[in-house]
């Protein structure tokens, strides 16, 4: 199947484009861009050099993918990339910057949904099925695990790690890691409980949620040292509890705690 390219689109002859793509009016595709199959690029989309786009993505009006990192020390001659998987949706005015490190990439997996005016900074990593609501910004080197939900107006500090199935409330200020399966809200942010709705929607059974509730109570039990609590949590044998332990042990910024 051939591509449909509007006559006003500017497509570099050094771009690599698959088949079945619909490229709309005033789209700009620079050199050294790779596009897979069956993507839809609506009016005014800009794909900058170093962007690699998979299949069946839909990019709405005036999104800019692959812009230079907002890093004052970045050398514009440094080769770096944005790598995007399949079936993602980027709404109007989304911006995603390429990596600041040589031959590295800002990476997005599959079936993520970024709403209007979301910004992903350089070297971010989104896994799969992440939803980010309008006017949210992620600083550089932020990692977001599978099925996290980030509400509108949230600001996430650089190097933060957001766990799977975490939910961040609107306008939250996130300066530390957010544990998997938890809800974070407020400015400054605090953990307000388990993301029970998200867990149920993800297919977690009642016994799984009960096990995570016990894990939550143990993690935020202030009567013993964290190391002791993690050792006890490891002995539970529950996969999600073990994921919590591994996440906390790997945390470099510390993690948001429950409200005092």
40-94 confidence digits (pLDDT tens): 999 999 999 999 999 999 999 999 999 999 999 999 999 999 999 999 999 999 9
Residue 229 to residues 125, 131, 177, 214, Cα–Cα distance (Å): 29, 31, 18, 11
Domain-embedded: residue 48: yes
Asked whether residue 121 is assigned to any structural domain, the reply reads: yes
Q: Does any domain span residue 233?
A: yes
Q: What is the mean pLDDT of residues 139-159?
A: 98
Which of 24, 140, 169, 198 is catalytic? The answer is: 140
Domain extent at residue 232:
199-250
Tell me, yes or no, if 258 is annotated catalytic. no
37 is catalytic: no
124 and 25 housed in the same domain: yes
Instruction: Give how far the C-alpha of residue 59 lies from the chain's centroid of Cα atoms, to the nearest Å.
Output: 16
Q: Which residues contact 140 (CB under 8 A, 6 or more apart)?
A: 69, 70, 71, 100, 121, 122, 123, 124, 158, 159
Which one of 60, 97, 122, 256 is the catalytic residue? 122
Could you tell me the CA-to-CA distances from 16 to 61, 236, 243 in Å, in that order?
A: 21, 51, 39
Mean per-residue pLDDT, 148-176? 98
Q: Residue 259: its pLDDT value, please?
A: 83
* Listed residues 117, 141, 165: the one ending a domain: 141
120 and 231, same domain (yes or no): no
What sections of 31-112 are H helices per DSSP?
Answer: none
Checking if the pLDDT of 134 tops 90, the result is yes
What is the domain count for the chain? 2
- Catalytic residue, candidates 66, 119, 121, 123: 123
State pLDDT tens for residues 166-221: 999 999 999 999 999 999 999 999 999 999 999 999 999 999 999 999 999 999 98
The 8-class DSSP code of residue 134 comes to T
Distance CA 247, CA 36 (A): 34
Enter the tokens of residue 136: 């949210």
If asked whether residues 216 and 103 sit together in one domain, one would say no
Conformation bin of residue 220: beta by default, left when phi > 0, alpha when psi is -120 to 50: alpha
Catalytic annotation present for 122: yes
Whether 174 maps to a domain, the answer reads no
State pLDDT tens for residues 2-35.
999 999 999 999 999 999 999 999 999 999 999 9
The enclosing domain of 110 has a CATH number of 2.160.10.10
Is residue 151 domain-resident?
no
Provide the residue count of the chain.
260
Crossing angle for the helix pair 239-250 and 206-219, to the nearest 10 degrees: 30
Instruction: For residue 159, tell me if it sits in a domain.
Output: no
Residues 124 and 214 occupy one common structural domain: no
pLDDT at res. 237: 78
CATH number of the domain where residue 205 is located? 1.20.1180
């Amino acid at each position: 199947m051939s591509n449909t390219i509007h006559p006003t689109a500017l497509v570099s002859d050094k771009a690599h484009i698959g088949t079945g793509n619909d490229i709309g009016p005033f789209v700009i595709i620079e050199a050294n861009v790779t596009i897979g199959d069956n993507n839809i690029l609506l009016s005014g989309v800009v794909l900058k050099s170093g962007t690699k786009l998979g299949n069946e993505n839909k990019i709405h009006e005036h999104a800019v993918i692959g812009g230079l990192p907002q890093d004052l020390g970045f050398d514009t001659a440094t080769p770096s990339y944005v790598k995007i998987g399949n079936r993602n949706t980027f709404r109007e005015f989304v911006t995603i910057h390429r990596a600041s490190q040589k031959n590295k990439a800002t990476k997005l997996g599959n079936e993520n949904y970024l709403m209007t005016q979301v910004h992903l900074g350089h070297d971010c990593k989104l896994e799969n099925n992440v939803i980010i609501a309008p006017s949210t910004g992620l600083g550089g080197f932020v990692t977001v695990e599978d099925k996290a939900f980030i509400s509108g107006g949230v600001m996430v500090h650089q190097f933060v790690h957001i766990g799977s199935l975490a939910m961040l409330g609107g306008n939250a200020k996130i300066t530390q890691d957010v544990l998997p399966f938890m809800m974070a809200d407020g400015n400054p942010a605090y953990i307000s409980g388990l993301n029970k709705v998200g867990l149920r929607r993800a297919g977690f059974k009642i016994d799984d949620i009960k096990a995570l509730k016990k894990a939550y109570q143990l993690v935020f039990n202030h009567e013993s040292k964290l190391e002791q609590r993690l050792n006890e949590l490891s002995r539970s044998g529950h996969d999600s509890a073990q994921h919590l332990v591994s996440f906390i042990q790997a945390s470099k910024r510390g993690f948001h705690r429950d409200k005092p």
